[in-house]
Amino acid sequence: MAEVSIRDVTKSYGTTKVLHGVSFDVADGEFVALVGPSGCGKSTLLRMIAGLEEISSGTVSIAGRVVNDVEPKQRDIAMVFQNYALYPHMSVRDNMGFSLHLRGASKAEIAAAVSKAAEILGLTPYLDRTPKQLSGGQRQRVAMGRAIVRQPAVFLFDEPLSNLDAALRVQMRAEIRALHERLGSTSIFVTHDQVEAMTMADRIVVMRAGRLEQAGPPLELYDRPANAFVAGFIGSPAMNFLEAVAEGGQVRLASGQVLEVASAATGAVLYGIRPEHLELTNPDAPGAIVGQVGIVESTGTAMFVAMQAGALTLHAVFTDRPNIKRGDQIGLMPKPGLVHLFDAKTGLRLS
Amino acid sequence: MSRRFKHLPGQVGLCLGVALLVLWSVGPVYWSFVTSITPPNALVSDNLHFWPQTTTWEHYAKLFGATSTSQGNEVASVWPQFSRAFANSLITSLAATALVVIIAAFGAWAFVRLEFPGRNVLFVLVVATLAIPAYTVMIPLYRLMISMGLIDTYTGVTLIYVSAFLPLALWLMRSVYQAMPLSLEEAAWLDGASKLRAFVQIVLPLAGPGLVACGILTFLSAWGQFMVPLVFSPTLATKPLTVLIPEFVTRNYVDYGLMNAAGIIAILPPMLLVLFLNRYLVSGLMAGAGK
């Protein structure tokens, strides 16, 4: 059990800087997700916490101790790799017991720890198999088992679910979360999938291009994104952004339409509204954005509608299956209080 | 043409090619064996037979016997020479193989996983020595060996073999390690292993097939060496079979039967080695490491 503290951490490969000073803290027992698009530096940062990458500047501390120059094996961390990295020539039992064996634990201790972890993960019948005799999900569990047997201070997960099929991913998501609640250990989870981050984490750290964009609880990021990038990254389908000019509690869209907003902002803004915060109305309702229905996709629980309003495309989600089809003229009404305004230049949240 | 015969020309060609290859590689061995069991007078007859009309083990008896006859006269047995050369061949080949496999196992890993200046230049230089013909270094090497007192010693011959066969083994092992995911080693480090321990307990077992291939290649090359021992092993102290057997040619008489009997015996160790190690040349050891 330990807290992790990242202070002004940078990483350069030669002259290329991939991390530009990232700082955040992970409290003891907290489950933090690091999300961002590919190449944002989240995996590099995780590997720096693990000790697999040099830290160019700044400090990483685990349990109050700066570990910049501490070997990975002395950091008391366990990591689940994206490709699992199971030892293919060892049985599941030996894979899971390897770390304890290296620490000089007795045979009885190892056997007890392995069988306990195997029980938690449902691996008991497979202990004598080798990894190649296991399915993808079982291998994933062995990778988890290898991490939990020795009860490390911190768990690191490097996109562990990205190799699983959709159904298994949802199941493992719940299992990892349940495991975290059971063990109460500090966990840092890297993913590019914002749904994984939203559903699993106590707190999300959003990164882009080597910089921290926003850190906070999932719903805070959803409700009050600090900038347009976070607003667009968190939430699926992504938020609609309309270019507009704000003045005196109103915004004027590029199409000339004027919408009321609860903000005193002025100047060029991005008017953001999530697809699920658009209500279907008659085309002639006052304040509605009017357009023609384009693509309609239905998943059963929800209906995804793309509406063409001149040069603009607005995406909306309905759960009540309205009777609309391609080519229909409809109006979309932003729900009051759920509009986000961002500075058009800096992308920062206004109001 | 029906579908069944559509691929006929290709199959006939394939069979023909395989037959040619088999004939090419097994033919000389067969002929050597047949010669070794043909009576001496039949060997020089005008009519060639693919299978001798009468067979004899006299050449083998001559090779293993305590005494020996040649053209009706009792002569000294060749067994002491033969057994000595056989042992020499085994010792130098096995020593070279062991050294090459051990050095390649560690050296290639260093070339792949350790960061040091000039790593790639150094590797290219080592591999480039493969392109240098042995003949061009023979004379300087001879002077070097004399000055170090290594002529006609196991150490000298083994060292030459190692320097000759190590580059190929390094090259092979480097690609074996390159194909191995770094995350396996990283996982071992995080599990608490030192770099050396991760290498020995995780990487080496998985590199087994590559090491076996290196071993086979080196042993076969060393066993078949002729030029090097011809120059550096002048006496029976280190002379191998490849150099001894041609010496069965005397001024008046070429003992074909004896030479081929000795040749057949000389084929056995590499054959047994390959048969024995072949089962470790399995692929797919890495299966299960990842997704």
B137 touches chain A (CB under 8 A): no
Does the CB of B194 have a partner CB in chain A at under 8 Å?
yes
Helices (H), chain A: 42-50, 92-102, 107-121, 136-148, 166-183, 194-200, 218-223, 228-233
Q: For an interface test with A, which of B184, B185, B190 has the most A Cβ atoms less than 10 Å from its Cβ?
A: B190
| pLDDT score for B5 | 66
Give residue B253's pLDDT: 78
Tell me, what's the pLDDT at A275? 95
A79 touches chain B (CB under 8 A): yes
Q: Residue length, chain B?
A: 291
Q: How many pairs of residues across A and B have Cβ atoms under 8 Å apart?
A: 87
Tell me the average pLDDT across B70-98.
86
pLDDT, averaged per 10 consecutive residues of chain A (351 residues), comes to 91 93 94 94 94 94 93 91 92 95 93 92 93 91 91 92 87 90 92 92 95 95 95 93 90 86 87 94 88 93 92 92 91 91 92 69
Q: Sort out which chain A residues have CB atoms less than 8 A from B284's CB and list them.
A: 132
- Token code pair at residue B242: 């490849």
Q: What is the mean pLDDT of residues B20-27?
A: 93
Fold for A237-343, please state it: OB fold (Dihydrolipoamide Acetyltransferase, E2P) (2.40.50)
Label residue B222 by pLDDT band (50, 70, 90): very high
Asked whether residue B48 carries a pLDDT value surpassing 80, the answer given is: no
Contact B288 A85 (CB under 8 A): no
pLDDT for the residue B291: 58
Q: Say which of A73, A99, A136 has its CB closest to residue B291.
A: A136
Q: Which of A217-221, B45-49, B214-218 has the lowest mean pLDDT?
A: B45-49
- The reply to whether ipTM tops 0.90 is no
- CATH dotted code for A4-232: 3.40.50.300
User: Taking all residues of chain B, what is their mean pLDDT, rounded to a whole number?
Assistant: 88
- Domains parsed from chain B with CATH numbers: 3-76 (no CATH), 79-280 (1.10.3720.10)
Question: Has residue B1 got a pLDDT over 60?
Answer: no
CB contact under 8 A, B190 and A72: yes
What is the structure's pLDDT at B252?
75
A128 touches chain B (CB under 8 A): no
- Nearest beta carbon to residue A86 from set B197, B284, B288: B288
Q: Which of A10, A34, A6 is nearest to A187 (CA)?
A: A34
- Residue by residue, what is the 3-state secondary structure of A27-39? CCCCEEEEECCCC
User: What pLDDT does residue A150 have?
Assistant: 85
All CATH 3.40.50.300 domain ranges of chain A, comma separated, are: 4-232
B291 touching A (Cβ < 8 Å):
yes
Q: Which residues contact A218 (CB under 8 A, 6 or more apart)?
A: A197, A198, A199, A201, A203, A204, A234
The angle at the Cα of A83, spanning A155 to A54, to the nearest 5 degrees, equals: 60
Do B181 and B203 form a contact (C-beta atoms < 8 A)?
A: no
Provide the shortest C-alpha distance from residue A207 to chain B (in Å).
24
pLDDT in tens, B96-127: 999 999 999 999 999 999 889 999 999 999 99
The confidence score (pLDDT) of residue A242 equals: 92
pTM, to two decimals:
0.82
pLDDT value of position A226: 95
Residue B77 has pLDDT above 80, yes or no: no
At residue B72 the predicted structure's pLDDT band, cuts being 50, 70 and 90, is: low
Sheet holding A57-62, edge to edge: A16-26, A4-13, A57-62, A65-66
What pLDDT shows up at residue B47? 75
Long-range contacts of B177-185 (CB under 8 A, 24+ apart): B177/B108, B177/B109, B177/B112, B177/B113, B177/B203, B177/B207, B178/B112, B179/B286, B180/B206, B180/B207, B180/B286, B181/A83, B181/A85, B181/B289, B181/B290, B182/B113, B183/A81, B183/A82, B183/A83, B183/A85, B184/A85, B184/A87, B184/B289, B185/B113
Interface of A with B in 138-197 (CB under 8 A): 139, 146, 163
pLDDT at B284: 60
Shortest CA distance from B207: residue in chain A: A89
Residue with the larger pLDDT of the pair B291 and A337: A337
pLDDT in tens, B138-185: 999 999 999 999 999 999 999 999 999 999 999 999 999 999 999 999
